[in-house]
A = this chain, B = another copy of it.
Amino acid sequence: MVRGRFDDSEACYVISVAAQMVGVRAQTLRYYERIGIIEPSRSQGRNRLYSQRDVEKLRYVKSLTEDLGVNLAGAEVILRLIEKMAEMQTRIEQMEAELEKREEGGI
C-alpha cells in the first residue's frame, strides 16, 4: 500500500486489537501510557489509537522486559540507544560507499 506523507489511512488499532498484536493485556497498555512509555493518539479525544509504529515499539519493549528482564526505565534508554546506533550504521554505510567509489575512480 502506498501512503502519502499526511495520509490519514495509516493503520490504527484500538486497545484490544493492539494488545492482542503485542501479546499483552489492554490494562498493561493503559499502564504503559500512564508511566509514559507510549502515547497513542485518541479518536475524538476518547479511545486510544495505536499506530503500526506504536505496536512495533511495544513489541520491542515486550521482548526486552520478558526475555531479558529489563525494566521499563531500561527499555526506554535502550530504545534510544538502538535508534542512535541505527543512525550511526547508516552513516558508516554511506561512507563505505563513498570510499569504494573513490577507490574505483583512483584505479
Chain A residues within 8 Å of B, Cβ to Cβ: 64, 68-71, 73-75, 77-78, 81-82, 84-85, 88-89, 91-92, 95-96, 98-99, 102
Contacts and interface: CB of A to CB of B under 8 A. Distances in A.
Contacts of A89: 88
Contact of A74 (B73, B85, B88, B95): B73
A78 B88 contact: no
A69 B96 CA distance: 38
Secondary structure at the A interface, as helix, strand, loop or mixed, is: helix
B71 A71 contact: yes
Nearest to A71: B71
Contacts of A96: 95
Instruction: Give the interface centre of A64, A74, A92, A102 by most chain B CB atoms within 10 Å.
Output: A74
A92 B91 CA distance: 8
A74 B102 CA distance: 42
Ranked nearest first, the 10 interchain pairs of A and B with the lowest CB-CB distance are A74-B74, A69-B73, A70-B74, A71-B71, A95-B95, A88-B88, A81-B81, A70-B73, A102-B102, A68-B73
